[in-house]
A and B are shown apart, each in its own frame.
Chain A
């Protein structure tokens, strides 16, 4: 059984059919790309997978469990984490606290312990700090742990967002245009980081991307979306040689 199973997923906003009859299967440990021209409905798919939007039809199953109708925070607790196209960090919190917020459901203590700093408060906070620093180290951000997230340069903000998502220990990680706004060097570095993340954290990754070099360089399988419908799927080589895909991207 596939880890993520999307069947005939569709959503309408008023009269607009943003996504229609989309089916996808992602195996555990996979690194899959979701590509398509601007406005094809890629981010909408992410929003349905994470419960931000409720689909009008179709089904989403993660390891056999239904995700439809679940709230975003419940879906995260079931093992789906994401990043955003327009970075959404907690700008007034420190880099460390951004990741510690991601550990919210992984290292827990009670409200009474929060209010009175009793019991396991100290022990758990120390654990959180260590764990968060470990994750930050992977992204080479541990030296900036005390910076306010808002003060990080753009590329590092993107990395911090991935770090925060990983802190929730997801089975499935959704990356929404991780390379947006990066120069070729930064993109190359990001490709390495993504592969490192997959091996180190053992997550399955689905990513939206425009950068064809990145997509064909690291993805094993691609889904192409156009006007909300699936246009093609297959290995990068198959998809990129598909004349329909080329037309959709470059026009007639």
Chain B
């Protein structure tokens, strides 16, 4: 523990982040081996990984760049459906599921990054709450568009249409995305291991970015935009960079998430999902990457753990959420810490007196 304290703050953060991922992986594997994990929790493993990636990537926008985004689920949606189209198209070409998943994630990252640029260029010109409401608007627009998207595949290739199925599929053709019905019959190729690998890749990229020239520029823009410009940093460029990287990672998380279920609909990635991820980030601490990991993991499992109280679980979740925010921010915590500090001081004084 002492060694950990002696490290520089950035190295310490890196060690904690990668350590958490490793511990999570090992503990879960041990629990599976020992038969200590029930099925419903097992089903949560991939979503937990996906939400960790979502939280870490959103922290890049909200914590590191300092801009509130309420539409992060939109990028997850783009990634999820792009990934589905890719895996379904490559099903016969590439037999190896992990390779197919990896390719799907790359394509998803690119698609989400493109969406990130399209959203980011106009959005990042705005400030504060206005920026937040426009990200919310974009998130809803993405959801609405995916909701009326029809994609099918036959021997002649992929067919797209909006609003209604505007194409006839040839013989042996198959609908991939069926408008509001979404996608069904997905081959579930996401595994816990692939989830952890993606978590580690995400950590690698985000932590490296933070501890680099570009990351410093992003944080400079967050801390003081005008000062950052005055020392030659292009604020538009670095805002967009953070936003797009964040979107691309969310896209990969989307593919990971979608490939864990047999059916996926666009309305899954709505405003509530964006908010859910934001809650992970805020509870874990803005700019604190390992905090986001813990926030995402604990709050994804919490409703499962509250299952015994069934009907009341979401109510309890809400109360816990409010209580945690009040505890963290209203000065109660500070007073308690102060009190503990005082007690320690008193003890110290007493022992000194006793010794003298």
Contacts and interface: CB of A to CB of B under 8 A. Distances in A.
Is A in direct contact with B (CB under 8 Å) within the complex? yes
6 contacts: A73-B232, A88-B230, A90-B227, A92-B222, A93-B219, A117-B211
B231 A102 contact: yes
B230 A82 contact: yes
Interface string B201-244: 00001001101111111011011101111111111000001000
A90 B230 contact: no
Interface in B13-29: none
B127 to A, nearest CB: 16
Given A88-B224, A88-B226, A167 B216 contact: no
Contacts of B229: 52, 71-73, 76
Contacts of A50: 230
A101 interface: yes
Given A71-B229, A102-B231, A115 B208 contact: yes
Interface string A134-176: 0000000000000000000000000000001101100000000
A227 interface: no
Given A88-B224, A89-B224, 8 more contacts: A72-B229, A73-B234, A77-B232, A92-B222, A104-B213, A111-B241, A115-B212, A117-B208
A117 B209 CA distance: 8
Contacts of A115: 205, 208-209, 212, 214, 245
Contacts of B205: 115
A97 B228 CA distance: 12
A18 B293 CA distance: 52
B213 A109 contact: yes
Interface string B113-142: 000000000000000000000000000000
Interface in A121-135: 121, 124, 128
B232 A114 contact: no
B224 A104 contact: no
Interface in A61-75: 71-73
Interface string A85-97: 0001111110001
A76 B231 contact: yes
Interface of B: 205, 208-209, 211-217, 219-220, 222-224, 226-235, 241, 245, 287
Given A111-B241, A114-B209, A90 B235 contact: no
B-side interface mostly: helix
Contact of B227 (A89, A92, A100, A124): A89
A109 B224 CA distance: 23
B230 A101 contact: no
Interface residues of A, number: 38
Nearest to B211: A117
Q: Looking at A72, A88, A92, which has the most chain B CB atoms within 10 Å of its CB?
A: A72
A168 B220 contact: no
A81 interface: yes
Nearest to B66: A92
A121 to B, nearest CB: 7
Nearest to B8: A146
A104 B226 CA distance: 15
B217 A101 contact: yes
A52 B230 CA distance: 9
Given A114-B213, A115-B209, A92 B219 contact: yes
Contacts of A113: 212
Given A93-B219, A114-B213, A115-B208, A88 B231 contact: no
A108 interface: yes
A250 B245 CA distance: 57
B87 to A, nearest CB: 26
Nearest to A92: B223
A101 B228 contact: yes
A185 to B, nearest CB: 27
A121 B211 CA distance: 10
A210 B309 CA distance: 69
B224 A165 contact: no
Contacts of A108: 213
Contacts of B227: 84, 88-90
